[in-house]
Structure formats: C-alpha cells, structure tokens
Structure 1
Amino acid sequence: MRARRSPRHGRGRELLRVRRSRPARRARARAGRRIAAARREPGGRRVKLRIGTRGSALALAQARWVARQLAERGDEGELVVIRTAGDRDQTSPYAAVGAPGIFVREIEQALLERRIDVAVHSYKDLPSHSPAELAVVAVPEREDPRDVLVSRADGPARARRIGTSSARRRMLVTELHPGTEAVALRGNVPTRIDKLRRGEYDAIVLAAAGITRLARAGELELAGLRIDALDPRIYVPAPAQGALALQVRADDACAARVAALDRAEIAQPVRAEREFLRLADAGCDAVIGALAAPRAGGGFVLDALLERRGRLARARVEGAEPIALAADAFAR
C-alpha cells in the first residue's frame, strides 16, 4: 500500500509539528482571570468539577486539556479515571466486547450515578444514541481529522500487511489496494506503535489526532517512523474523528459552565457528521465515514461513505444546514 497524501497538506509528518503560541496562551489566561469572578459561585468560591475520563495516555491528555480550559474560566477540575469495557479487553474484536459504546458506557453510567460532573469523550467513540438524561453541551476542540499511514522509515517500500482497528479502514485498505492484507489491531496508540516497531505489521493506520495530541504531551516517541496523511476525500474519516465531546447531565447546574467551552465553528460541521451516523444507525465497528468542512462562500461540504450490500457507497454534498446536509448525503 502506498499512501495517497492529502494534496492540501503535503507530507503527513508536518501535521505533527506542535504549534505553541505563548503570547496567545498568556492572553487567554489573562482573559480567563478577568472573567473568573463572574463564573464563580456566590462569595467567590471556585467550583470543582469531577471530570470523567478513560485512563489511556491519550484520554488523560485530552481530559487535562479540558481541565486547563475550565481553570482559565475560574473553575477547578479533578480527573476521575474510569475503566471501560474497551480498556479491559484490548484483544477481542469490537463486536465481541459489546460495541457500540465500549469506550463510553461506564463513563456515562458514572454521570448518571452522579459520580462525575462532566465526561470527556473522543466524540467518534460516542454511539449515535445516548441516555436521554445526558447531553453533549460542548465540542471545544478538534485536531486534524484525517487518518494517517504509519510505517518504519527503514521498512518495505510497499506495505503488504496493514494493521488497523476499524472495519472502515480495513475495507478501504482492501478495496483500494488489492493484494494488501488488512489485519486486526487493538490496543492504545503507544501499544500499536510498539507492535509496528517490532515488525508485526508493515504499516498501521491511525487517527492523526491521537498521534498529534500524544506527541504534544510528550507521551509518544516518533523517531524512526514515517507518517503520511491520507487524502480525506478518499479515506473518509469516522464521523467526528479528532473532535472532543463534553457530556453532562442535561439538568445539572454545571451544564452552563461546561457549555461555555463550546466552539460553534467546530460543533456545526461535526453536527452534520453525527447526524449522518444517526441516520445510518451504525456502531463503532461499522463501515461509515463522514467529514464536513466549511465552504468558502458559506455553508458546508460533506464527504460521506457507507457500506451498502458489501460495497462502499460515497456521496459529496453541499449545503447550508448541517442536519439537511446529512439527510441529503444519506439519501444518495
């Protein structure tokens, strides 16, 4: 398999450069301190929010980022690590573990039982249907949504054995690259990278967002690896890939505080992707992809992919309203 790189972004390795703007961070911190008093409880007391998260290095990096955003607004975050079914069993296929929801079910239960106040999810892990008492009130951040092909710099020029965790990626690899074997791959990102280094695979397909976040946090060593971003119009990512979702009890007093972290320019295109997922009624091991992006003249363009009767069906639609856009794509 040779990587089809995204023409807009060039070599995939560039996406891993960590962009740090210290003046911008300082400005945000000053702004957060100025408005902190308005966000504290009467008497100036800071609110401590219990933040539920998985215990993987990636999940903890994401939850710590959310805690920092809350701190800038005058609230305190305490991380509560919750082990999910997907964490307990890292070898079985997703369907055997109990997909969909294998990475979120226990965290949602903790919310319902009031053991935590806010849950931090990788949005792509959330099923299309969640308990009615819960609500996603903020999509505060999204990293690069693309898939990447990761290989050893000294590995074979053409990868024949590709490791991947998702049915979508497996089907894309085998359909686009006849003669290439797509092999099941479970485990967290560092574990998958270790398996690649040991030669168990010629290459592996991962989400760019996870690699970027772990590299930024100093939790992932990339020396000796080649990383190529895959063209998202061909390798359409999972719906909401790279986006964070903050989930709370819908009637909780802290909902408004968490909702303040929402960024509409991220949430709107993700809404179209999630609506496509809902219409397909698909789980985390289904062959489905969706990626929406703003159009230059306003509105959005949505690339969608879905397995129908053993074949990949694709659609590319444009429109102004996310829900209607998803319905249009699903009807194609």
Structure 2
Amino acid sequence: MNSMKSIRIGTRNSPLALWQARQVAKKLQNKNIKTDIVPIISSGDKNLTQPLYSLGITGIFTKDLDIALLNDEIDIAVHSLKDVPTELPYGVKLISVLARDFHHDVLVRNSKAKNKDLKDLKIATSSLRRRSFWLREFPGTELTDIRGNVQTRLRKLEEEIADATLFSLAGIKRMNLDLDYEFLPFLLSAPSQGVVGIAGHEDKTEINDILKSIEDSKTAICTTIERDFLRTLEGGCTAPIGAFAEINVRNEIRFLGRICSLDGKDCIETDEIFQYNSSEKAGEILAQKLLKNGGKELMSIIKRSL
C-alpha cells in the first residue's frame, strides 16, 4: 500500500464529521498510510428545515458518500455509525469501527432555563427516539424541531427556540465544547451511538484489510448486536428504538433495548446479560423476543403514523 496513492477519506463537511475523518486519518498514518480527506455535502446537511423523520428515507447523511464510493471518487467513507442504515447499497459495506467513547445522550439548557424542573422544560429535538423516550418520562412536554450541527443548535437554543435540547455526549466531547450538561439515564442511546464507522467498497480488498487492522474488536461485537437488533425491528433511523450493548468485567454482554410508541405511552424493553457467541445473531434473537412480546404491533402502528 505504501507505493500506492493515498487513501481518499470521504466525509460530511460538518466540524464533527471532519474531526471523525481526521481520527481515521491519524490511525492510518500511524501505519505509514498516506491519506487525503475529501469533504462532501450530504443531503441531510442541505435540508435543515424539515425534521429527519419527515423526509421519508433512511441514510440521508450517508447516501451521498455511498454514491461517491461507488463512483470511485473516494476510497472510504467515515460516518457516525448511528447514521448508517443497516442495509447498505450493493457494493458498499461497513468495514471497520473505532473504539466507542461516549454513548450517552445529555441535556443542554439555554441560559434562562437553568432552574426549571425537567418536567417543565420545552425541548427542542428532531429525533423520534429522544422525543418518544422523553414523553415516556414527562408526558405533555412541549416539543419543537431543531436541525443543524452542534454549533447551529446551540445558537438556536440561545435564541430561545426552546428551554433545552439534547445532544450526543460524544459530539460535545469531540468538539471540546465547554458546556454544562446533564446526564439522563432514561434516554437510552441510539444503536451504535458514540462510534465512528468506516464504510468501503467491497472490491477494494487491500484497503479493506488495512481498515480491519485499525478496528476495535469489542466495539465491533457490541455494535453488531445493536445493529442486528435495529435491523430485525426494521426501524431504520426513523423509529423510536434504543439499544446499547457492552462487555462487562466477566466478559459477558449486557444488552439494553427499547422500542416506544411516538407518544411514549407504550414501551417494550429488554435488559439481558449473556455469554457472547460469535456464531449466534444475538441482536436478532433479542429483537425477535420484543417482536413476539407486542413489538410487531407497535412497529406497525409507528410506521402507519409516520
């Protein structure tokens, strides 16, 4: 590979996405691989007025990078893994994941809402999952949509679009933002939240082998379970589905999964600890349990409502 051209790293053009691309570049450069970062404006970044769930498609942040991969304009695409659909276009595959850092959701308030109770806050979020899980805890909350990168949403918050908004802690930490935030245990994170994923073209085997060499194996196991859970529930990125898997000190998997109705009133969830077996599709098995326990009917209601 050293005698070949640089690996072209495709990424969205947001500050957070560029940070992620640079992390991948550093890991490749540590293996004496040359890299070039190629920013691409995604459809999700072009339309900041409609909430994502109203656009009616999955992969809105990834499809432009998929096209660039298939057109050989880039060699790899770096994503926030939670944005990557569980079904990818023919020829494109998820190759590698970096170690997960922060999977949590956190609450950030505007300066005039510091002393309000959680139940009294007006919340700005365009995530169906965050909306649904919040309403489960605080029914009747006033909600409003908000789009844009971290900096844009912070500006809108101070313009008093709402009392508070919800962020992935990973984004705040990666941008090194000095913010006051609150952990909210009831907001189970999105599948693969806090993970940088790298997609590639299935035919570029030499590059893909290099990408596998920078993968974090424990994160790969956990995100595979989470994504299989999501895929089996057929949630894409539009249904209120949360999932988080971690490997404990006894080398067991603890898995938390949840699906809720859009109003948060009906929720089905699981919390299980089990031994990992690479030959079993643990995420699929866990999702099937939820589907048999009322999840199938709940998913049908959600799909009809969107």
TM-score interval (norm. to shorter): 0.7 to 0.9
Structure 2 unmatched ranges of 5 or more: 291-306
- Alignment size in residue pairs: 281
2:162 matched to which residue of 1? 201
Backbone CA RMSD of aligned residues: 1.8
CA deviation string 1:144-186 (max 9, x = no partner) = 0010011135524224201112001001111201232122111
Q: By how many angstroms is 1:324 displaced?
A: 3.6
CA deviation string 1:93-144 (max 9, x = no partner) = 2134342010000101110111100100110001110023122111113220
1:96-115 pair list within 5 angstroms = 96-115=54-73
243-252 vs 314-323, which deviates more?
314-323
Instruction: Confirm or deny that 1:314 pairs with 2:266.
Output: no
CA distance in 1, matches of 2:79, 2:174: 14
2:183 matched to which residue of 1? 229
Report if the CA contact (8 A) 1:63-1:120 is conserved. Answer: yes
1:172 matched to which residue of 2? 133
Q: What secondary structure, in the 3-state scheme, does the structure 1 residue paired with 2:180 have?
A: strand
CA distance in 2, matches of 1:96, 1:291: 25
Instruction: Confirm or deny that 1:147 pairs with 2:105.
Output: yes
Report if the CA contact (8 A) 1:317-1:325 is conserved. Answer: no
Q: What secondary structure, in the 3-state scheme, does the structure 2 residue paired with 1:52 have?
A: strand
1:278-289 pair list within 5 angstroms = 278-289=231-242
1:61 matched to which residue of 2? 19
Structure-2-length-normalised TM-score: 0.87
Q: What secondary structure, in the 3-state scheme, does the structure 1 residue paired with 2:175 have?
A: helix
Over the matched positions of the two proteins, sequence identity in percent amounts to 32
2:293 matched to which residue of 1? none
CA distance in 1, matches of 2:150, 2:101: 16
Report if the CA contact (8 A) 1:162-1:202 is conserved. Answer: yes
1:276 matched to which residue of 2? 229
1:210 matched to which residue of 2? 171
Report if the CA contact (8 A) 1:134-1:250 is conserved. Answer: yes
CA gap 1:178/1:98 in 2 versus in 1, 3 angstroms:
closer
Q: By how many angstroms is 1:328 displaced?
A: 3.5
Report if the CA contact (8 A) 1:153-1:226 is conserved. Answer: no
CA distance in 2, matches of 1:324, 1:309: 28
Q: What secondary structure, in the 3-state scheme, does the structure 2 residue paired with 1:148 have?
A: strand
Quick one: which of 14, 32, 43 aligns to 1:85?
Answer: 43
Report if the CA contact (8 A) 2:78-2:199 is conserved. Answer: yes
CA distance in 2, matches of 1:329, 1:67: 35
Q: Which runs of 4+ in 1 moved over 6 A?
A: none
Report if the CA contact (8 A) 2:128-2:262 is conserved. Answer: no
Q: What secondary structure, in the 3-state scheme, does the structure 1 residue paired with 2:193 have?
A: coil
Report if the CA contact (8 A) 1:52-1:119 is conserved. Answer: yes
Report if the CA contact (8 A) 1:85-1:102 is conserved. Answer: yes
CA deviation string 1:232-270 (max 9, x = no partner) = xx3211000010111111120311112211110111111
Quick one: which of 126, 151, 157 aligns to 1:190?
Answer: 151
